Amino acid sequence: METPFDLMAEILPLKAWRYNERLSENLEDLTAPLFDVVSARQRDLLYENPLNSIHLSVPQGENPADNARQTLANWKSQGIIAQDPLPGIYVYYQYFRLPGDQEERCRKGFIAHIKAYDWDEREILRHESTIVSSVNDRIDLLRATEIQASPTHGLYEDESEELEIHMDAAMASPLYELEDYQGVREVVAVIHDREVISRFLEVLKQKTVILADGHHRLEAAIEYRKMQRDAFPSAKWRGSDYHLMYLTNAYGNHLKILPTHRLLYGMELSEELFLGKLREWFDIRVFGDAEELATYTFQRKWSFGLILQDQSFVVKFKPERFEEMRPDLPEALRRLDLVILHDVVFGRILGMDLEKQRKTDQLAFERNFARCLREVRSGKASFAMITREIEMSQVLDVCKTGALMPQKSTYFYPKALGGLLFGSIKQEEFEYDYEAFFEQAKR
């Protein structure tokens, strides 16, 4: 498909599907977190509500994708969700506090459709590797429903902060305001003004987008676009080419990255042998109370907390051994804490190559420190490695090299919420004369 501009990131407004107005009064009961950030118990509570959006984002049953397709058809026919008649840019603000904060933070952004560029096109940059089985599940779901119940999260860089003026103006008349499962205040508004929408398209066409969250969902959208490359040959704008994304400005925005810790199950080495091998690479200091690691400040790079069943440690990588670290990697990547952790602890000491690390069920990723502690003390997990947060500048530097961090390297907070709106890529629902927005931008 020929595009009107030599675009970098091509975005389009969307005709969102949203919950019926009478239902949206209790939107807290209908929205859902991303499928991998809540516990099984929390998910069970969401599934109890037959109208919760989790039935579209993470369907259950023997044939989950088919179940989601039937659920979606029922919701449409019964008027549970309805499609907005005009395309818009959906402004999305998240107000939150972190422990110790006195003032409320606000992450400002907007939701739109973005072309599902292949990674090789370098228009959307990723920073993490993905897990094959999770991608396949997302492809099946997208093929069955042709709808996206939650946006991925992308970052763009705009020091002028031009779009924030338009977003702030839209927030004077919000569509929704609610408190989510994180305690975050979520506010959504919409922009329908053609001239303003054209400015969004114009600004983003000059940008490369850095994917913060949603690698598996975007990879599924990329694969689906390839599957549909011969569909609707006469259509100028094809829904299967696009993907739902929440876009936030990396400048002047409250972007917070929280650490994700590592749990190892079924270690074959004894604790004594494991610690002996660890001392070859790390300086190890006994730490009195494992619970205090939750608030410990790891000042030095390449330092971690280690929790074993009956003891805990602070471990610091020996800098004199750095030259042995992955010389094949770009400097921005090989210096990361998590690259050293995965290469030394899981690779060299435990014998898990990168492919096994991606696919094994022995290695788990856990943001919740208390859960890490419980898993190890109960004897379920062999150990936990407590990590420190990565810096935004590090993410940007790695993305620009084209290299990938280990999976689950970042946890951008707060997470975007599912069910606030749904983005359809079904051709008859996606169809619109989007050319008008580009013509406006040329004036």
Q: Which residues on neighbouring strands pair with residue 209, listed in sequence order?
A: 124
Q: Which residue has the higher pLDDT, 319 or 294?
A: 319
The residue count of the chain comes to 443
The pair of three-digit structure tokens given for residue 337, joined into one six-digit string:
């804490």
Work out the average pLDDT over 302-306.
94
- Tens-digit pLDDT profile for residues 66-75: 999 999 999 9
User: Strand ranges (DSSP E) for 152-291?
Assistant: 152-156, 176-179, 185-191, 209-213, 242-249, 256-258, 261-264, 282-287
- Tens-digit pLDDT profile for residues 233-269: 999 999 999 999 999 998 866 777 888 899 999 999 9
- Residue 8 pLDDT greater than 80, yes or no: no
- Tens-digit pLDDT profile for residues 369-381: 999 999 999 999 9
**pLDDT range class, residue 5, cuts 50, 70, 90:** very low
Work out the average pLDDT over 153-168.
93
Round to whole Å and give the CA distance between 147 and 423: 6
**pLDDT number for residue 2:** 37
pTM of the predicted structure, to 2 decimals = 0.82
- Tens-digit pLDDT profile for residues 186-198: 999 999 999 999 9
Q: Return the minimum-mean-pLDDT range out of 132-136, 260-264, 354-358.
A: 132-136
Please state, rounded to an integer, the average pLDDT across all residues of the chain: 89
The pair of three-digit structure tokens given for residue 328, joined into one six-digit string:
């094949």
- Residue 226 pLDDT greater than 90, yes or no: yes
**pLDDT number for residue 65:** 96
- Residue 440 pLDDT greater than 90, yes or no: no
* Three-state SS annotation for 67-98: HHHHHHHHHHHCCCEEECCCCEEEEEEEEECC
**pLDDT number for residue 253:** 64
Name the burial class of residue 268, with classes exposed (0-12), middle (13-18) and buried (19+) by CB atoms within 10 angstroms of its CB.
Answer: exposed
**pLDDT number for residue 239:** 96
The pair of three-digit structure tokens given for residue 410, joined into one six-digit string:
């970042």
**pLDDT number for residue 443:** 62
Q: Which residue has the higher pLDDT, 123 or 223?
A: 223
Contact 68, 144 (CB under 8 A): yes
**pLDDT number for residue 386:** 95
